[in-house]
Structure 1
Amino acid sequence: MSQKRIEFKNVSFRYQENMPWVLKNVNFVIEANEWVAIIGHNGSGKSTIAKLMNGLLFPQEGEVLVNGELVNEENVWNVRKNVGMVFQNPDNQFVGTTVRDDVAFGMENQGMPRELMVERIKESLQAVGMSEFERQEPHRLSGGQKQRVAIASVLAVSPQYMILDEATAMLDPKGRKEILQTIRHLQDKRHVSLITITHDLKEVTQAERVIVMNQGEVWMEDTPRAIFAKKEKLIEIGLDTPFVTKLADEMKAAGIHVQREPLNHQELLEELWTSHSTM
């Protein structure tokens, strides 16, 4: 029985034969039920990785495997049953005249029985908090609501892995927060592996593991805390660090002891309280 994971084995990719390699000898594994954030500067290859996982592209060198199955043209539709993808602009994924029709689309393509489709539509919209909009026209929804519907559409086909390619990039802070809460809830309840391609540092801090891409190669791979502790190296390759990380540095420079790298405001407050109580 094959192990439930996504594997990149010595993967290299370029869009045309006379163009530079976008990915160069990339190796990593994403395990079942894991949340992995993939970050990097523009052109680092992170969105190309997402398309290779989903069979939208195929590598010129190396192998991409999903649950031990090679991703190629012969079995790409089997792969897409296991690997769902939510894009940056949800409007690009809408095909139905109502929210209900749109969520049903992927299941219709897979030939699911109507009874199962009705059940999945209800469950998926409920999971993302959009049940009351089932009969609504998608273009009347807000940006955050549209992205929730896009997630529900992918969720309805019950994938083991869900890729969110800059899925919060076009949202305002409120919408971004709602989507992050939604995907965290989904991972807890549905045991879905999440792969987030993102520039959003809050999104990165919530992941279990981070893969940092630089010039088409895996530059670093570790927990968010360990990654952001190397802030000088991140800045060198054009990446930012969370505000709380910068604030913690200022505290250290001012002589305030910070025991561990904080990832959010709550952890920073705890560090301040601990420092104050030992003075």
Structure 2
Amino acid sequence: MAGNLIEFKDVSFRYSEQDPWVLKNVTFTIKEDEWVAIIGHNGSGKSTIAKLINGLLFPQEGEILIGGKKVTEDSIWDIRKDVGMVFQNPDNQFVGATVQDDVAFGMENRGITREVMVERIQSTLEAVGMSDYQFTEPHRLSGGQKQRVAIAGVLAISPRVLILDEATAMLDPNGRKEIMQTVSQLQSKQGLALITITHDLQEVVQANRVIVMNKGEVWKESVPREIFTEKEELRKIGLDVPFVTTLADALKDIGVSISKEPLNHEELLEELWTLHLRT
């Protein structure tokens, strides 16, 4: 059984003494190999949590532990070796003249030897399907390709935690699907803790667990299927539910007996097919 890698203990945060609290007494844990989706309306505190994990911000109250180590100004450089973040706009993360240079940047800052850097550049670009673009200038890439390179650059530092902060928001549906398939495979293969902060419900249903934020507090945390049974309550706090669950409710209203809450079209079709065979 994997142990806790990330621990938030009664964490509260605000940007200044005059501002309202962005987070209020937030407590949760994330295990070493777990995929957790953090969702909530705009301003609920999702991105603030990501910045606190990475040490871009520090809590005024409570404490945060990464791998048992408390996040402080003294420990932050050690913490950042374990935490990698990919943001919404990949252009904000590019610093190299070529894809290869960009992937190498984080490793250079950590003093990784050239031999190791060369191997990791090749292996991470291969992992995200970008080996053929090693010497390409980043501005020549599509949005999805840029995000793949940004992910490769983060993976190259061998983090224990990968945070995607709305990292697929600027991509089209196919681009989002491809990126999340890649990330899911990498997370499973490398045993990373994966945190996705997203509005994309298809990403949410793939996670092992969901933390729902509302007005700076943890509103609920559970597996996706249980979260999306709370349809009306989710809508009340400004969140939507997957279309397939709305469709399943409509079918129930006209007398179709669906035994479990479907999370995707495949599950709904399987339920309907099983029902058909019974009749």
Tell me the distance in 2 between the aligned counterparts of 1:193 and 1:128. Answer: 18
Partner of 2:93: 93
Q: AA paired with 1:160?
A: R
Mind listing any 5+ residue stretches in structure 2 that lack a counterpart? none
Partner of 1:58: 58
Q: Kindly report which structure 2 residues correspond to 1:43-122, keeping only aligned pairs within 5 A, or say none.
A: 43-122=43-122
Residues 85/269 of structure 1: CA separation in 2 closer, same or farther (3 Å cut)? same
Q: Give the TM-score of the pair, scaled to structure 2.
A: 0.98
CA contact (8 A) 2:36 2:208 kept: yes
Q: AA paired with 1:195?
A: I
CA contact (8 A) 2:4 2:29 kept: no
Partner of 2:275: 275
> Following TM superposition, by how much is the alpha carbon of 1:190 offset from its aligned partner in structure 2, in angstroms?
1.1
Partner of 1:255: 255
2:19 is paired with a residue of what secondary structure?
coil
Q: AA paired with 1:150?
A: A
Q: Kindly report which structure 2 residues correspond to 1:1-279, keeping only aligned pairs within 5 A, or say none.
A: 3-279=3-279
> Following TM superposition, by how much is the alpha carbon of 1:207 offset from its aligned partner in structure 2, in angstroms?
0.2
* Runs of 4+, deviation exceeding 6 Å: none
1:136 is paired with a residue of what secondary structure?
coil
Tell me the distance in 2 between the aligned counterparts of 1:80 and 1:4. Answer: 17
Q: AA paired with 2:5?
A: R
Q: AA paired with 2:104?
A: A
Moved more, 187-196 or 107-116: 187-196
Tell me the distance in 2 between the aligned counterparts of 1:250 and 1:111. Answer: 58
Give aligned-pair identity as a percent: 70
Q: AA paired with 2:139?
A: H
RMSD (Å) for aligned C-alpha atoms: 1.0
2:178 is paired with a residue of what secondary structure?
helix
> Following TM superposition, by how much is the alpha carbon of 1:77 offset from its aligned partner in structure 2, in angstroms?
1.0
CA contact (8 A) 2:71 2:79 kept: yes
Mind listing any 5+ residue stretches in structure 1 that lack a counterpart? none
Q: AA paired with 1:68?
A: G
Deviation string 1:19-67 (CA, Å, 9 cap, x unpaired) is: 0000000000000010000000000000000000000000000001001
Tell me the distance in 2 between the aligned counterparts of 1:67 and 1:198. Answer: 24
Q: AA paired with 1:50?
A: A
> Following TM superposition, by how much is the alpha carbon of 1:4 offset from its aligned partner in structure 2, in angstroms?
4.9
Deviation string 1:44-93 (CA, Å, 9 cap, x unpaired) is: 00000000000000000000100110111111111011010000000000
1:206 is paired with a residue of what secondary structure?
coil
Q: AA paired with 2:155?
A: L
Tell me the distance in 1 between the aligned counterparts of 2:278 and 2:234. Answer: 32
Tell me the distance in 1 between the aligned counterparts of 2:213 and 2:16. Answer: 21
Deviation string 1:144-202 (CA, Å, 9 cap, x unpaired) is: 00000000000000001100000000001111011011111101211111000000000
> Following TM superposition, by how much is the alpha carbon of 1:276 offset from its aligned partner in structure 2, in angstroms?
1.2
2:139 is paired with a residue of what secondary structure?
helix
> Following TM superposition, by how much is the alpha carbon of 1:7 offset from its aligned partner in structure 2, in angstroms?
0.3
2:8 is paired with a residue of what secondary structure?
strand
